[in-house]
Amino acid sequence: MEVYSVVSYLSSFLTILYVVVVIAFIRGWHKLSNFKPSGTPGKTNVTVIVAARNEESVIEKTIKDLIAQNYNRDLTEIIFIDDHSTDNTAEIIERYEIDGVKLIKLNEDKALNSYKKKAIQTAIGQSQGKLIITTDADCRMGVNWLSTIVNFYEEKGYKMISSPVAYFEEKSFFERAQSLEFLYLIGLGASTIGNNKPSTCNGANLAYEKEAFYEVGGFKGIDDLASGDDELLLHKMAAHYEQRIGFLKHADAVVYTHAKPTLSAFIQQRKRWASKSTRYKNKSIIVLGVCIWLFNLSILLNIGIGLFIGFYLKLALFQLLTKIIVEFLFLLDVTSFAKRRKLLVMLPALNLLHILYIVYIGIAGNSGKYNWKDRMVK
């Protein structure tokens, strides 16, 4: 019985802690004011960098969106890096050379674990822009995307700017479920920036000064890990430039991409994202992540014990209900910003599945290899 008492007390503590954490997320989100662009033409030289591998089916739309930006073309440089594609990705990019799109072909004869970091670093080394902006080869953006980011940069003077990413054009219940979960992650990253404790961002919509990139040593020290060109770089920037990291909260700054069509692709992506946690220098972020993982694990354990002892099933239901309520309050604002509030109806039904996923990814993402762009990496 003493063991069961320890489980119940620990579960209660973890539940309270999770509520406190999500309330902190809500506060952080509200600390971020909605940006109001001045409309003044930007004066900053910008380089947009896109690393691409086997993206022939989607890359042309991304290229056209970047060419269509209403920012001064004389101040805009667009660089695509072809990462050893085996399809027609490079050929498609070359068609737009007349529109000022530059192509760099990555030519690495020695196997690497982080081709994407190598691609971005190579492009930065050949770039002319003061402000580097990265996005992905399967992303879409509106015509005011670039000008909004530059306007925000020139007004605020941040060294690094994280901007929102969202899924769109969902074709199934599974993809809509991913949209809701992804908005939670984007909101979480934004809120930690709002609380001046940056923890996560997304390289599909990330900007930083080239000078600052070199000042923190670029990807040195994290270049052996396949993932982390965004989040681990954010941690380096935040440690070097305290309170100089911003989140751009504006509809025109949103970049859109697609959810994973299959469970297998989704798991591989989340394993890749989770793998970065082993390299966090900020121990408080690691401790927080472990506590959240333990909270989700405690719900599963209480459900299991509850099959034999009714009290623990009630405790698990209380934890689950508490989780749904606080996450609903957080996502209410985030989904409103993304104009996707209808997704909230899925939250109760998906919560138990989300707990299973969190527990599994917490283990799988920090052990073994995963598939990324048809390569096995770690």
- Residue 257 is classified by DSSP as E
Going by their DSSP bridges, the two strands 255-257 and 140-141 should be labelled as antiparallel
Q: How far apart are CA 168 and CA 255, in angstroms?
A: 10
Could you tell me if 204 and 83 lie in one domain? Answer: yes
CB contact at 8 A, 201 and 161: no
pLDDT confidence band for 225 (50 / 70 / 90): confident
Is residue 373's pLDDT more than 70? Answer: no
Residues 320 and 211 in one domain: no
User: Tokens representing 360?
Assistant: 């599994």
Domain assignment present for residue 374? The answer is: no
Six-digit token string for 237: 């920037």
Candidates 170, 147, 171, 149; CA nearest to 160 is 149
Q: Say whether both 43 and 122 belong to one domain.
A: yes
Q: What is the distance between the alpha carbons of residues 227 and 214, in angstroms, rounded to a whole number? A: 19
Q: What is residue 8's predicted lDDT score, i.e. its pLDDT? A: 82
pLDDT at 1 over 60: no
pLDDT in tens, 124-176: 999 999 999 999 999 999 999 999 999 999 999 999 999 999 999 999 999 99
Among 240, 273, 306, give the residue marking a domain's end. 273
Q: Could you say which DSSP state residue 133 is in?
A: E
Quick one: pLDDT at residue 40? 87
Q: What pLDDT, on the 0 to 100 scale, is given for residue 272?
A: 82
Longest C-alpha distance within the chain, in Å?
75
Specify if 375 maps to a domain. Answer: no
| Spatial separation of the C-alpha atoms in residues 31 and 113, rounded to whole Å | 38
Q: Are residues 342 and 208 in the same domain?
A: no
Owner of token pair 């509106």: 142
Is the pLDDT at 323 greater than 70, yes or no?
Answer: yes
Rg, Å, the chain Cα set: 21
Helices H, strands E: what count in the chain?
Answer: 12, 12
Q: What is the residue type of 345?
A: V
Its domain, for residue 326, covers: 2-28+282-369
CA distance 239 to 233: 10
Cβ atoms < 10 Å from Cβ of 128: 13
Q: How far apart are CA 68 and CA 84, in angstroms?
A: 27
Confidence of residue 271 (pLDDT cuts 50, 70, 90): confident
248 falls within a domain: yes
Under the phi-then-psi rule, with left for phi > 0, alpha for psi from -120 to 50, and beta for the rest, what region is 39? left
pLDDT at 226 > cutoff 80: no
**CB within 8 A of 321, min separation 6: which ones?**
none
For residue 376, tell me if it sits in a domain: no
Count of the separate structural domains present in the chain: 2
Predicted pLDDT of residue 244: 96
Q: Residue 357: what are its φ and ψ, rounded to 5°?
A: -65, -45
Say if residue 313's pLDDT is above 90: yes
Residue 4 has pLDDT above 70, yes or no: no
Same domain, 93 and 63: yes
Could you tell me if 43 and 183 lie in one domain? yes
Q: Are residues 98 and 14 in the same domain?
A: no
The CATH number given to whatever domain includes residue 168 is 3.90.550.10
Last residue in a domain, options 228, 247, 273: 273
Distance CA 317, CA 162 (A): 36
Q: Are 133 and 47 in contact (CB under 8 A)?
A: yes
Task: Identify the sign of the CA torsion 108, 89, 127, 132.
Answer: negative
The arithmetic mean of pLDDT across residues 93-112, rounded, is: 88
Q: Hey, what are 181's tokens? A: 């979960």
Q: Which residue, 227, 251, 273, sits at the end of a domain?
A: 273
Judgement on whether residues 126 and 187 belong to the same structural domain of the protein: yes
Residue-wise pLDDT for 59-86, tens only, equals 999 999 999 999 999 999 999 999 989 9
Q: Would you tell me how many other CB atoms lie within 10 Å of the CB of residue 169?
A: 10
Kindly provide the b/e burial profile for residues 4-24, where b requires at least 16 CB atoms within 10 angstroms of the residue's own CB. Answer: eeebbeebeebbeebeeebeb
Do residues 189 and 361 lie in contact, with contact meaning Cβ atoms separated by under 8 Å?
no
* 378 in a structural domain: no
Question: What does DSSP say about strands 160-162 and 245-247: parallel, antiparallel, or unpaired?
Answer: parallel
Residues 221 and 159 in one domain: yes
Would 377 be classed as within a structural domain? no
252 and 291 co-located in one domain: no
- pLDDT at 39 exceeding the cut of 90: no
Q: Is residue 254 part of a domain?
A: yes
Give the pLDDT of residue 374: 62
Residues 326 and 249 in one domain: no
Q: Tell me, what's the pLDDT at 285?
A: 84
Taking the whole predicted model, whether its pTM rises above 0.75 is answered as yes
Do 244 and 290 reside in the same domain of the chain? no
Whether the CB-CB separation of 21 and 288 falls below 8 Å is answered with: yes
Tell me how far apart the alpha carbons of residues 29 and 185 are, in angstroms, rounded to a whole number. 12
Percent of the chain's residues with pLDDT above 90: 73
What pLDDT does 287 receive? 86
